[in-house]
Structure 1
Amino acid sequence: MKRILFVCTGNTCRSPMAEAIMRDRAARRSLDIEVRSAGVSTVDGMAVSANAAETLRRKQIAHNGTSRAIAESAVQWADLILTMTASHKRSLIGRFPSAMEKTHTLLEYAVLDEQMASDLAELERLYTEWQMKQALGQTGTDEDRARMLELERRIPSFDIEDPFGGPLHVYESAAAQIEAAVEKLLDKFTADGR
């Protein structure tokens, strides 16, 4: 059994929708996956937002949970942690460094191919070198700056937009992004025999 933890900010919009969609889609494919969700900045027991609940209802997907704050026990429980944004990923890894290898954004994990992974690794290396030079009072080269800008243009955003407080169609858009990523993720699991 694979255990997946979805993480967003308040655990009332994106991560509960991801949890419910993953549970539904995995069951339809008869895959043995256990799913939970949590928030990096929330308290336990808050209701899922009305528009998130309505979005799931319209998709005929059940969700019967309340918010949960991220905790060491949930991080240890998970085989894979999928965040809704790069910021959530950084926050989680900052608090739980031991989870670095199993923490990714949902979109990064679902759509990353070899070329994108190579570009991302190069960009992270260039950023690190740039920051080190700045810390030492040095300046980066024009070539490095141009290369970083080129890589930034090529690499897609791995963030699922926050619908919090928005109208229903914004929640539906976020759910559609999540759903597409979950389907790709389940295709990967099926292809890998997980």
Structure 2
Amino acid sequence: MLRILFVCTGNTCRSPLAEGLMRKLARDAGMDVEVRSAGVYAANGGPISSNSAQILREKGASDAIRSSSVTSDVVQWADLILTMTFSHKNALVQHYPDSVSKTYTLKEYAIGEGSASHIQQEREALIAELSLKQALGHEITEAEKERYYELEQLAPGVDISDPFGGSLELYRKTAAEIEQEIQKLIKRLHQSQ
């Protein structure tokens, strides 16, 4: 059984939506997965946002999700960690370096091995290289700057929009964005079986 962990900031909006929607859609697709969610800055046991809970009820998904923080236990439990943003991914990899091979943004993983994924990988590698150069006091060349800007334009957006504090309509847009990516994820997981 595949164990998937969805991660956002406070585990009250996006990752609970992803958790609930993934459970429902995977069940509907006949997939055997275990799903959890957590936040990089979450309080344990708090309620999810009322808008997220309402959307999950409307979709026929469980809204009985309580917030929890990312811990080493849940990171070790997960076979696949899908974050809502690139910054969540970076935070996880910094705190749990052993998770690097199983941590992606939801959009990045749903893309699969296509050209957009390769662009994103090149962008990430270049960012790491340039950050190291800068930290060591080395000058970044004009060619490196130009390539960075090219990749920024070519790279797909990998962040799921944050509805925190917004209207129910904004939450609905975020839920639709997450659901679209989960549909791609389920298709990719079916293909890999």
Please give the range of the TM-score, normalised by the shorter of the 2 chains.
Answer: over 0.9
Q: Considering only aligned residues, what root-mean-square deviation do their CA atoms show, in Å? A: 1.4
Q: Which residue of 2 aligns with 1:167?
A: 167
The alpha-carbon distance between structure 1 residues 125 and 103, as it changes in their structure 2 partners (threshold 3 A), is: closer
1:118-167 Cα distance to aligned partner (Å, 9 max, x none): 22232233333333433444422222211211110010111111111100
Deviation larger for 116-125 or 71-80: 116-125
Superposed, 1:20-169 pairs within 5 Å as: 20-169=20-169
- For structure 1, list consecutive stretches of 5 or more residues without a partner in the other structure: none
| Aligned-residue offset at 1:50 | 0.7
| Aligned-residue offset at 1:28 | 0.4
Distance (whole Å) between structure 2 residues aligned to residue 111 and residue 30 of structure 1: 22
Please say if residues 83 and 89 of structure 2, whose CA atoms lie closer than 8 Å, have aligned partners that are also in contact: yes
The alpha-carbon distance between structure 1 residues 17 and 141, as it changes in their structure 2 partners (threshold 3 A), is: same
The alpha-carbon distance between structure 1 residues 93 and 135, as it changes in their structure 2 partners (threshold 3 A), is: closer
Distance (whole Å) between structure 2 residues aligned to residue 81 and residue 165 of structure 1: 25
Aligned residues: 193
Distance (whole Å) between structure 1 residues aligned to residue 91 and residue 130 of structure 2: 22
Name the SS of the counterpart of 1:37 in structure 2: strand
Give structure 1 regions of 4+ aligned residues with deviation exceeding 4 angstroms.
none
Name the SS of the counterpart of 1:30 in structure 2: coil
The alpha-carbon distance between structure 1 residues 128 and 103, as it changes in their structure 2 partners (threshold 3 A), is: closer
| Aligned-residue offset at 1:180 | 0.5
Distance (whole Å) between structure 2 residues aligned to residue 37 and residue 136 of structure 1: 37
Please say if residues 111 and 117 of structure 2, whose CA atoms lie closer than 8 Å, have aligned partners that are also in contact: no
Identity %: 46
TM-score by length of 2: 0.94
Please say if residues 24 and 60 of structure 2, whose CA atoms lie closer than 8 Å, have aligned partners that are also in contact: no
Q: Which residue of 1 aligns with 2:4?
A: 4
Name the SS of the counterpart of 1:92 in structure 2: helix
